[in-house]
Amino acid sequence: MDEALLRRLTPEVIGVLVRRGADFAAGEDAVQDALVEALRVWPEDPPRDPKGWLVTVAWRRFLDATRSETARRRREDALEAEPAPGPAPSGDETLQLYFLCAHPSLTPSSAVVLTLRAVGGLTTRQIAEAYLVPEATMAQRISRAKRTVAGVRLDQPGDVATVLRVLYLVFNEGYSGDVDLAAEAIRLTRQLAAVIDHPEVAGLLALMLLHSARRPSRTAADGSLVPLAEQDRSRWDTRLITEGVEVLQAALVRDRLGEFQAQAAIAALHADAPTAEETDWVQFVEWYDELLRLTDNPVVRLNRAVAVGQADGARAGLAALAEVDPSLPRHTAASAYLHEQDGDPVTAARLYAEAARKASSAAERDHLTRQAARLNTPTA
C-alpha cells in the first residue's frame, strides 16, 4: 500500500467533494471512510485510477450519511447525482483546500492543525503526537476547526499571504513523535508551489530548505543548543542549500520582492559563508533594511541590531537595539551578546542570567544559563 500516494490524494479528493456541495466536515469524514476502505481493498485489488476510486467511494459515503439524516432531506434533493465511475477530474481542489484551511475565521493554531489533517493527510494520532497532547484533545481541536469552516464557500480569491503564514507556522512547530513537522511543512509548500506560480511561495520554500540545511548542527549530542557561530558547517546539508539558493534566485529575478524572499536571502548569506568570521554582515544589514521596509516587524528590527553590531561594531549594535521595544522576546539575550562583544562581561553575564529566566524553552534557558556561568567563571 502506497501511503504517500494516499496522503497526496487526500486533499484532492476532499476538494472534489467540497466543490460538489459537501461541507468540509462531512466531506472530510467521507474521505476518511474511503481511505479506510482503500487500505482494506487495494492490496488485493488495486484500482487503475486511485483518485477516481477514492472520489467515487467517498461520494457514496457522503450521500449515505446525508440520506440518513431526515432533517437534511431537502438538501439531499439539491445534490447532484452520483457521477459515473471513471477518471477523476483534475483541477485546483488542493489549492482551494489550502485557502479553506487558512480561513480568517480560524485561529492560527486551528488553521495549522486543519492544514495538517486535510492537506497533509495526517491522522489525528500523528498530529497529537507532534504537539505532545492526548489524541482526544487533538480530536476536539480538529472538530472545532471543522465546525468553524462548515458551510464556507470559496467563491472569492483566496489570500496567498495567509496560506503562506499558516505553512510557516507549521514549519516553526519543529518536530516530535513520528511526524517531523518541519519536513511536513516543506512537503506541503512544495505541493503548493506545484499548483500556484507565486514568487513568495518560492521564497518560503527556499527559506525552509535553507533553514533545514543547518538543522543537523543546531544541537549537540546532549540536546543542548549550538550557536550559529559555533556550528560545524561541514554538517550542513549542501544538497538542500543548493536547491534553496536555486529556488530563491528564480524568485528574485521576477522582481516582486516579498518578506519570505528577503528572509531566504538572509539565510542564503549564512549558507554562503565558509566560516562565521567570513560572513558578509554588511549585506545582512542591507537585507534587514529591505525586510523592515516590507514588514516593519519588531523582531526584524531586533535581528537587524545584532547584524549592525557585527558589521559596524558592538556600540553601533547597542545603539540600534536601544530603538527596539525592550519587552520583546530575546531582547535581553541580544543585549547580553552585544555587551559581551563590547568588552563588558559583567553586564553581559547579568543580562544572560536575566534572559535565561525569560526563555521560552528549556534548551534556550540552559544555553543562556551556560553563557552567564561562562562569564562568571574566573579564568586561570
**Going residue by residue through the chain (380 aa), what tens digit of pLDDT does each one get?**
577 788 888 888 888 888 888 888 888 889 989 988 988 889 888 899 999 999 999 999 988 888 775 444 544 454 444 444 444 444 457 788 888 888 888 888 888 898 888 888 888 888 888 787 899 999 999 999 988 888 777 666 568 888 999 999 889 876 545 678 888 889 989 989 988 899 999 999 999 999 999 999 998 988 888 999 899 999 999 999 999 999 999 999 999 999 999 999 999 999 999 998 999 999 999 999 999 999 999 999 999 999 999 999 999 999 999 999 999 989 999 999 999 999 999 999 999 999 999 998 888 999 999 999 999 987 53
Cell of 253: 529575478
- Are the beta carbons of 192 and 158 closer than 8 angstroms? no
pTM listed for this prediction? 0.80
The answer to whether 29 and 136 are in contact (CB under 8 A) is no
Q: Would you say residue 11 lies in a domain? A: yes
Which structural domain, as residue segments, surrounds residue 68?
4-78
Is 219 inside any structural domain?
A: no
239: in domain: no
Helices 362-376 and 345-358: crossing angle in degrees, nearest 10, is 160
Per-residue pLDDT at 80:
46
- Rounded Cα distance between 10 and 213, Å, is 29
CB 163 within 8 A of CB 99: yes
319 domain residue, yes or no: no
Measured from the Cβ of residue 123, the count of other Cβ atoms closer than 10 Å reads: 16
- Asked if residue 363 is part of any domain, the answer here is no
In a domain, 66, yes or no: yes
Number of folded domains that form the chain: 1
- Residue 118 located in a structural domain: no
